[in-house]
Each structure stands twice: as structure tokens, then as C-alpha cells.
Structure 1
């Protein structure tokens, strides 16, 4: 895995994965659960690149949560393929935000889209925090990677 694009406000954070044989299902294409793992890992890597370590968030009593995830398949991935997975945060008012992932083969073929409704949980209160964008902006060393420039 390695980043494959320059990370700017206009270009979402992107990471490349090589498909491994144990990720294949009985039809010899990547299992649906693996697409979700790729998306989750790209979100985690984006947060780390933005300076949001899990230890820092835990120490501050905060934890990111997914409330809903939608996966749309467009083309199959097979053994020996590579896939670029982007991660873009879409902020609005309220306690939730969207995280959008686009999975493409290096030749540009659209493979899948993963969209999540997420939030930030106060670990002490077990409630969603208000204005998660502000909470993350305050803690990130590179908030632009989270769409918080």
C-alpha cells in the first residue's frame, strides 16, 4: 500500500492496494467485505496523514464511528489487480458527516463507490459530539486532508 496522488483540497487522499489471493471469493473476484476494508483503511490512513492518531483521539475521549455504509459495485477486481481508493470528507451542519470513497483501477476503470455516514463519539458520554468538524480541525496538523482547510 502506498499513496498514489498528491493530497490537496482538490484531490482526495488516495492509497493503492494490491489484491491478495486470500481476498478472493469462490467466483475468484474480491469479496464485498474486502471493498469495505479497503475503504476503512483509506479513512484510517487519511486521518493519520492529517495528524489524527488513534492514541490522540482516545486520550481526548473521542472515537470516530460509522452509522451507515453503502457499497456500489461497478466492475470486478480479481487476483493480481491493483486498486486506488480515495477518501474525501463531506461536512455539513450537525453531528454527522459523509465520507466518500471511490475505488478505481490504475487505468481509471471505476470499480466501486463506498459512502458512509459517520460521526464522532464522546467516549465518556457515549453520545455523538456536536460540530465534529471543529473538534477534528483543532486536533489535525493537516486539516485540509479532511476537507477542513
Structure 2
């Protein structure tokens, strides 16, 4: 099994390379649409790991990231044997939510898809969104710069 190639090219953009596997294909021979969401989720978790945040850290802090909405714009297809670079960029604002913007680019540089998610940080005790998600993640991250903080 191929291991992901993690690259952090800029301080506010995280990137990981993922190899397309045969079982991720649909009947047309290209990557099934649900797999794009899995690639995005995988990239977000690898980004958290690079920042020093894992599931245990989040549980101990009493919080957890949640995805509230996801939009995908497909540009080109991915096929068996392709490798795709998936970026992860956090866009912080005010309020209880933030955005994660992700670009999917074939290893040859061809743009494949764009995924945008509206996310928050769930307070596990109250089961409500934390009022300042950036502060909650900054407090538990070993390297908050990877999250754009």
C-alpha cells in the first residue's frame, strides 16, 4: 500500500498526495464522488496530525471538529493509477464556523476538483458549537501555523 506523501509548501496551505485505488472507482472507471469527500477528510486529519492534534488530544480537550456543509466542484476525472494532491487551507473569521478550502490537483498539475466545507468545533459536553473555534484549536495545537492560526 502506498504511503501518503505529506508536503507543507506554504505556511497556510497543507498538502498531501493520495494514490487512487481500484476499489474507489465507479462503473465509468473514474473515482466515485463519495471518495472525493473521503480524500478531503483524510487531508484534513493529516493536517491536524501535522499540527500536533489527534483524536486523543481532542477528546482530552473536550472538543471535536464537525463538518456542517460540503460543496464539491468537479473539474476533471480521476482514474485508476492517478495520484492527486489534496490541499487543506483553513479560512478563519468571526463566529462559530470557519471554512476549509481544498484543491485537488493531479500529480501532472491538472486541476481536478475544489471542495469547500463549513466547519465548527463541537463542545463535547454541551453538544453545541464552540463560540471561538480558532481559539479552541490553537490551544491544543503544537504547531497552529499549519492551521493558519
TM-score band (shorter)? Answer: over 0.9
Structure 1 stretches lacking a partner, 5+ long: none
**TM-score normalized with structure 2 length:** 0.95
C-alpha distance in 2 between matches for 1:124 and 1:22: 38
Q: Is the 8 A contact 1:94 1:131 kept in 2?
A: yes
Structure 2 stretches lacking a partner, 5+ long: none
Structure 2 counterparts to residues 1-149 of structure 1, below 5 A: 1-10=3-12, 12-148=13-149
- In 2 relative to 1, CA 4–121 (structure 1 residues): closer, same or farther, beyond 3 Å? closer
Paired positions, count: 147
C-alpha distance in 1 between matches for 2:66 and 2:143: 21
* CA shift digits 1:103-142 (9 cap, x unpaired): 0001110000010000000011000001110111111111
RMSD (CA atoms): 1.1
Q: Is the 8 A contact 1:4 1:15 kept in 2?
A: yes
**TM-score normalized with structure 1 length:** 0.95
* CA shift digits 1:19-61 (9 cap, x unpaired): 0000000000000000110000000000011011110111111
Q: Is the 8 A contact 1:7 1:145 kept in 2?
A: no
Hey, which of these two has a bigger chunk of strand by percent?
2
Runs of 4+ in structure 1 off by over 4 angstroms are: none
Q: Is the 8 A contact 1:75 1:110 kept in 2?
A: yes
1:7 CA displacement: 4.2
Structure 2 SS opposite 1:29 = coil
* CA shift digits 1:1-29 (9 cap, x unpaired): 4235334325x111111100000000000
C-alpha distance in 1 between matches for 2:133 and 2:102: 19
